[in-house]
Amino acid sequence: MIKYEIAFPDYDNCIINLMSSILQNYNVPIEHPPLKQLNISELKNNIVLMIFDGYGYNLLKKYSQTSSSYLAEHLIDSITSVFPSTTTSVITSFRTAKTPLEHGALGWTMFFKEYYKFIDFLPNWDSITGKEIDHSRYRTYEKMRFENIFQKIQKADPSVELYNIYAKYLSKKPYSQIVSKPSTIKSYKSTKQLFNTVEKIVKKKSTSRKFIMSYSVNPDGLEHKNGIHSRKVEEYLKEIDIACEKLAHKLKGTNTSIFITADHGLVDVNKYLYANEDEELFDCLILPTMPEPRFVSFFAKKHKFDKFKDVIKKYEDKFLILTRDEFLAKGFLGKGKMHQRIDDLLGDFVGIAISDAAIKTVYEQNGKWKKEFLAHHAGLTEDEMMVPLIKIDL
């Protein structure tokens, strides 16, 4: 079995601290310390934050001499993701500058007891049918009560021009709209158009400072389907490396700081386990496992705790198994006031991947996927938890 290096979230050196640095630049009162690696007084008038989903630090280092050479030249340091290292949690932390403990968005699949429904949070899908649900009826995001960073910046300095850039198919999604107000949402259809959009906004004549955030679903989407070391992933990294260098040349002298980072990295998954196929384990559970295949919350029957503890031992070489109290006491979710939703999402026990395995519960009416993802995230390996901090001053 492959031995994986483990990395725990460092809430003094993570993406939330990056957001604190950016907010501090706009005189927003911050709740978490800024990054020590950044000098706020040296930041430029315009700040661009480009998030490439799944572009982990180890992936950058692997291709630092070839497909990521320009970005590697501007690497300041590695920082950690938050936990769980999955898009739902981390992107919400980017958008709110809050820890998962504070914002409560713990993963892809979340249970909303108000609707007695499992909902895939970001796309607003019914977890069982895979179909988008009516947001006017299932107001999941309003239930979470997010205050986003754009609202905070506008409150502190209404003169700052705010922009949020998404792929076109994401730009009108309820989540995108809610975490973007009052910024101006721009959309793109290709990598080239993404970088062109950033260029146009920065060069737009204005006496005001600008804050521009962009999000790309790749290389995460490519890694899920093709594996983290596939040719398609490498080709994409080369594409954005070249595009970043060209953008930097075009924006020279515009008084702009560009930050490039990721929400998390991924690890290749070589073993999928199915909770419903382990009859002893499944018999101990009240609810299906959630919210992620590599961060598993177990809601166990109270009278079968001892049986669960015995059964779960077979997974201890692949998952860090903790009780709910142990998990919270170790501070995996960060600092701050605990969001009330966490009580509904955090079971009696949790399993956190420390290997190349994942656990899913297969709904009987759905059946297994014809092809599982080749790579995944939300675990504690360095590949998943460490992300690059890249800064280009122009």
pLDDT band at 294 (very low <50, low <70, confident <90, very high): very high
What one-letter code names the amino acid at 65? Q
C-alpha dihedral sign at 192, 237, 58, 274: positive
> Tokens 């899913």 map to which residue?
360
Asked if residues 394 and 253 have their Cβ atoms less than 8 Å apart, the reply is: yes
pTM: 0.96
pLDDT for 1: 56
The helix (run of H) or strand (run of E) holding residue 12 is none
> Is residue 301 included in any domain, yes or no?
yes
Count Cβ neighbours within 10 Å for each residue of 290-307 and write b for 16 or more, e otherwise: bbbbbbbbbbbeeebeee
Q: CATH no. for residue 67?
A: 3.40.720.10
pLDDT digits (tens, 9 = 90+) for 295-340: 999 999 999 999 999 999 999 999 999 999 999 999 999 999 999 9
> Is residue 355 included in any domain, yes or no?
yes
Whether residues 352 and 337 share a domain: the answer is yes
> Is residue 31 included in any domain, yes or no?
yes
Whether residues 187 and 84 share a domain: the answer is yes
Structural domain of 102: 15-267+380-393
pLDDT digits (tens, 9 = 90+) for 269-293: 999 999 999 999 999 999 999 999 9
Mean local confidence (pLDDT), 164-174 = 94
pLDDT for 207: 86
Mean local confidence (pLDDT), 213-231 = 97
> Is residue 7 included in any domain, yes or no?
no
> Is residue 8 included in any domain, yes or no?
no
Q: Into how many domains does the chain fold?
A: 2
User: In Å, what is the CA distance from 233 to each residue of 64, 178, 193, 239, 329?
Assistant: 14, 30, 19, 10, 37
| Residue 217 token pair | 């679903």
Q: CATH no. for residue 277?
A: 3.30.1360.180
pLDDT digits (tens, 9 = 90+) for 201-211: 999 998 899 99
> Is residue 54 included in any domain, yes or no?
yes
pLDDT for 373: 96
| Residue 165 token pair | 């850039």
Whether residues 304 and 389 share a domain: the answer is no
Whether residues 147 and 27 share a domain: the answer is yes
Whether residues 131 and 185 share a domain: the answer is yes
Q: What are the phi and psi torsion angles at 259 (to 5°)?
A: -105, 135
Pick from 364, 330, 373: nearest CA to 54: 373
